[in-house]
Amino acid sequence: MTAEVPVLELERVTKTYGSDPPIPALQGVSFSITAGELVAVLGPSGSGKSTLLHLMGTLERPTSGRVAITGLDVAELEDQQLAAVRATRIGFVFQQFFLAEHSSLLDNVADGLLYANVPATERREQAADALTSVGLGARMKARPTQLSGGQRQRVAIARALVGAPAIVLADEPTGNLDSTTGEQIMALIDELNAEGATIVLITHEHAVAARCPRRIQLLDGRVTSDTIA
Amino acid sequence: MQTDLQPPRLSLVDLGRVASVGLRTRRVRAALSALGIAIGVAAIVAVLGLSASSQAGLLAEIDKLGTNLLTVTNGQSPLGQPAELPLAAPRMIRRVGPVTQVQYTGSTSANAYRSPLIPSIDTNGLSVQAASLGLPHAVGTRLAHGSYLNAATARQSVAVLGAQAAGLLGIDRIYPGERIWLGGMWFYLVGILKPAVLAPEIDDSVLVGFPAAKHYLGFDRHATTVYVRSVTGQTAAVQSVLGATADPEAPGDVDVSQPSAALTARADAQGALNSLFLGLGAISLLVGAVGVANIMLIGVLERRNEIGLRRSLGATKGQIRTQFLTEAILLALLGGAAGIAAGAISTVVYASTKHWTAIIPVTAWAGGLAAAILIGAIAGLLPAIRAARLSPTEALRTV
């Protein structure tokens, strides 16, 4: 295996929904992301950001074109193997956090490894490390309901990072936060990227995208620019 | 590279934790939806438990009273007239080898009243019987109040009441000088018997001594019922010779019966009503199943985000399906367990008030548990399939 295999590759990817008439969401999108990058996918609503996220996250298959995660072609994998890819190689961060309110922070983060064939004790150990790395090491027993929005997003980020996935996909991670808290989350993302995590941010906020070294601009299902600062 | 893409497996502990999320986070709802199944299982367990306990109680009572009692009564002559047992019948029966006790009663034509002021037509259906001196022991009853007839009082105007007779006459205790109007004269009461389960005909009788019956009531001294106790195990042999022994001239005019046989038959017949209540229990289970299915479907709709999250964390469709199916089974199992407990408790409580040994048949609780699991599986199937079919992107959409 060479070190130069991109973490994520998209080649002429299209996605259409429905058939009468078909609605194109993505039309011929190509780019690749290598390990250690911090990329912002920027676009207004309706530009195909969500579809792109789902395709990158293997939650959906493209209508045509090629999507590969760490060199694995999504088209060649069964549904169950795709689930394993998500469990071991992809971390998701959602705008709404999606935390289990009745579980402790530690259990929430440990669940990030629930479907990855990792023994329970090890899951908890790794979860404790991940919580520490997002600055919540002292509150492992707390419930999400006791936290502020920014803290909740930190827990969600820890859950995405636990098990060191090849790529973290963050969907509007600051969308539900005020600007100060959003700034803190962005600082955390910068920091995690500096420590080696590959992160793709999907956002419609230019301010958020501006912090990323590489920006992919999406409009009407096409990439209009792909710039590296 | 491909080798570590094995579909992930969940351990049983993890599955249990994941499947109980819904129950732990929505406890009241879980409890209410399990209630239908609990009621159904409780009904089934209680019905089976109570009938088994009452059957056991009856059989225990029969055992205590003994199955070795035979009764010989005057039947009918071939012409349809009431036959008469020979005067010597009790004496002859006593000579049969395995016979251990022979006691007898003879019906008199007298009636008994609370007082002479009662119209003679109000007989209360009571009969006045001449009775031998060891009767209570032979039929397996005892005195509730006072004493029984003895050699001395059997010659005097003295009476003992059967349990039901005492009630019909409105007498519940014995005090000195208490008397009833019997055959046109006062008879003093000395005792009240407890119910005689094997010889219920004694319960509504007023008993007087044979000599007294002859002297005061003009009784012909012919026994009408002879109570025979024999060595247990030879009862059948004794039964076969009793007719000929009691009335060698006309054995066919004599009826011989075993009172405990009727009680045993009653115990066996006790299951007959059960099917009705079991049917009601089954209906309740069905309603419970619909309730569980309904709650699970609602749960799937409400927990779309959780399903989406789990799929993004790497859960397969199968794992989502297993999670919701297990949750439904768990829910039904909780209801079933609660139902078994409730059914068992009500059986124990009811049995103890009746002084029965509480018996909860294995088929009752094991069947109840199995029914609960089955119902959970059936009720959970559709919601689980729905949850698994939900596409992850659909599930992650926020409303």
Domain of residue B111, residue span: 68-268
Judge: B393–A54 Cβ closer than 8 Å, yes or no: yes
Mutate to test the interface with B, among A53, A107, A115, A176 (most CBs of B within 10 A): A115
Residue numbers in A near B13 (CB within 8 A)? 120
Kindly tell me if the per-residue pLDDT of B3 is higher than 70.
no
Give the type of residue at A152: R
Judge: A115–B318 Cβ closer than 8 Å, yes or no: no
Same-domain pairing of B161 and B50: no
Kindly tell me if the per-residue pLDDT of B256 is higher than 90.
no
Minimal Cα distance from A95: which residue of B? Answer: B398
The per-residue pLDDT for range B138-175, each reduced to its tens digit, is 888 889 989 998 999 889 999 999 999 999 888 888 88
On the CB side of B144, CA atoms within 13 Å amount to 19
Minimal Cα distance from B10: which residue of A? Answer: A115
Distance CA A62, CA A60 (A): 7
Under the banding of pLDDT at 50, 70 and 90, the label for residue B25 is: confident
Same-domain pairing of B91 and B126: yes
Domain boundary among B268, B288, B313: B268
Same-domain pairing of B52 and B102: no
Under the banding of pLDDT at 50, 70 and 90, the label for residue B2 is: very low
Which of B14, B309, B314 is closest, CB to CB, to A98?
A: B309
Residue numbers in B near A81 (CB within 8 A)? 2, 5, 7
The per-residue pLDDT for range B353-394, each reduced to its tens digit, is 988 888 888 988 898 899 999 999 999 999 999 999 999 988
Same-domain pairing of B209 and B191: yes
Judge: A54–B311 Cβ closer than 8 Å, yes or no: no
Proportion of chain B above pLDDT 70, given as a percent: 97
| Residues A57-72, mean pLDDT to the nearest whole number | 94
Pick the CATH number of A38-54+90-228 from 1.10.3720.10, 2.30.42.10, 3.40.50.300, 3.40.630.20: 3.40.50.300
The three state secondary structure string of B62-83 is: HHHHCCCEEEEEECECCCCCEC
Q: What is the pLDDT of residue A53?
A: 93
Kindly tell me if the per-residue pLDDT of B5 is higher than 80.
no
Q: What is the pLDDT of residue B275?
A: 78
Q: What is the pLDDT of residue A166?
A: 94
B399 touches chain A (CB under 8 A): no
Under the banding of pLDDT at 50, 70 and 90, the label for residue B241 is: confident
Judge: A72–B1 Cβ closer than 8 Å, yes or no: yes
Judge: B5–A94 Cβ closer than 8 Å, yes or no: no
Q: What is the helix (H) or strand (E) element at residue B265, kind and residue range?
A: helix B259-269
Structure tokens at B260: 């405990």
Domain boundary among B268, B297, B325: B268
B96 touches chain A (CB under 8 A): no
Residue recorded with tokens 């059957």? B55
Kindly tell me if the per-residue pLDDT of B252 is higher than 50.
yes
The per-residue pLDDT for range A99-128, each reduced to its tens digit, is 999 999 999 999 999 999 899 999 999 999
Give the type of residue at B2: Q
Proportion of chain A above pLDDT 70, given as a percent: 98
Highest averaged pLDDT of the listed ranges A65-69, B132-136, B290-294: A65-69
Structure tokens at B371: 């029914």
Which of B9, B308, B317 is closest, CB to CB, to A79?
A: B317
> Is B3 among the domain residues?
no
| Residues A21-38, mean pLDDT to the nearest whole number | 93
Question: B40 vs B187, B272, B291, B349, CA distance in Å?
Answer: 58, 19, 12, 19
Residue B45's nearest CA partner among B278, B232, B353 is B278
Non-local (6+) Cβ contacts of B91 within 8 A are: none
Residue recorded with tokens 């230019």? A206
Residue numbers in A near B398 (CB within 8 A)? 95-96
Q: What is the pLDDT of residue A1?
A: 43
B390 touches chain A (CB under 8 A): no
Same-domain pairing of B51 and B78: no
Q: What is the pLDDT of residue A209?
A: 92
Under the banding of pLDDT at 50, 70 and 90, the label for residue B219 is: confident
Kindly tell me if the per-residue pLDDT of B398 is higher than 90.
no
More confident call, A215 vs B118: A215
B14 touches chain A (CB under 8 A): yes
Q: What is the pLDDT of residue B354?
A: 84
B21 touches chain A (CB under 8 A): yes
Judge: B305–A114 Cβ closer than 8 Å, yes or no: no
Tell me the average pLDDT of chain B. Answer: 87
The per-residue pLDDT for range A149-195, each reduced to its tens digit, is 999 999 999 999 998 999 999 999 998 899 999 999 999 999 999 99
Which of B5, B310, B393 is closest, CB to CB, to A85?
A: B5
Structure tokens at B150: 């003895």
The per-residue pLDDT for range A120-139, each reduced to its tens digit, is 999 999 999 999 999 999 99
Same-domain pairing of B149 and B88: yes
B398 touches chain A (CB under 8 A): yes
Residue numbers in B near A86 (CB within 8 A)? 311-314
Distance, CA of A128 to chain centre: 20
Same-domain pairing of B303 and B387: yes
Q: What is the pLDDT of residue B272?
A: 61
Kindly tell me if the per-residue pLDDT of A3 is higher than 80.
no
Judge: A79–B5 Cβ closer than 8 Å, yes or no: no
**Which 33-62 residues of chain A touch chain B by CB within 8 A?**
50, 54, 57, 59-60
Minimal Cα distance from B305: which residue of A? Answer: A98
A176 touches chain B (CB under 8 A): no
Under the banding of pLDDT at 50, 70 and 90, the label for residue B230 is: confident
Number of domains within chain B: 2
Question: B42 vs A192, B50, B82, B341, CA distance in Å?
Answer: 57, 12, 53, 7
Domain boundary among B268, B286, B301: B268
Q: What is the pLDDT of residue B222?
A: 85
Q: What is the pLDDT of residue B343?
A: 93
Under the banding of pLDDT at 50, 70 and 90, the label for residue B265 is: confident
The interaxial angle of helices B274-302 and B27-65, nearest 10 deg, is: 160
Beta-bridge mates of residue B161: B192, B206
Kindly tell me if the per-residue pLDDT of B202 is higher than 70.
yes
Task: Please give, rounded to a whole number of angstroms, the shortest distance from the CA of B326 to a CA of chain A.
Answer: 17
B209 touches chain A (CB under 8 A): no
Which of A77, A112, A120 is closest, CB to CB, to B13?
A: A120
Same-domain pairing of B242 and B278: no
B392 touches chain A (CB under 8 A): yes
A100 touches chain B (CB under 8 A): yes
Same-domain pairing of B201 and B138: yes
Which of B6, B21, B312 is closest, CB to CB, to A86?
A: B312
Task: Please give, rounded to a whole number of angstroms, the shortest distance from the CA of B12 to a CA of chain A.
Answer: 12
> Is B227 among the domain residues?
yes
Same-domain pairing of B72 and B131: yes
The per-residue pLDDT for range B113-133, each reduced to its tens digit, is 988 988 888 888 888 989 999
Same-domain pairing of B198 and B247: yes
Residue numbers in B near A52 (CB within 8 A)? none
Other CB atoms within a 10 A radius of the CB of residue B241 amount to 16
Structure tokens at B217: 């009531």
Same-domain pairing of B262 and B276: no
Under the banding of pLDDT at 50, 70 and 90, the label for residue B399 is: low
Judge: A59–B393 Cβ closer than 8 Å, yes or no: yes
Domain boundaries, chain A: 38-54+90-228
Tell me the average pLDDT of chain A. Answer: 92
Kindly tell me if the per-residue pLDDT of B28 is higher than 70.
yes
> Is B215 among the domain residues?
yes
Residue numbers in B near A115 (CB within 8 A)? 8, 10, 310, 313-316, 319
Kindly tell me if the per-residue pLDDT of B1 is higher than 50.
no
Question: B302 vs A104, B20, B289, B395, CA distance in Å?
Answer: 21, 16, 20, 10
Q: Which of B15-29, B48-62, B200-214, B346-360 has the lowest mean pLDDT?
A: B48-62
Distance CA B227, CA B337 (A): 50
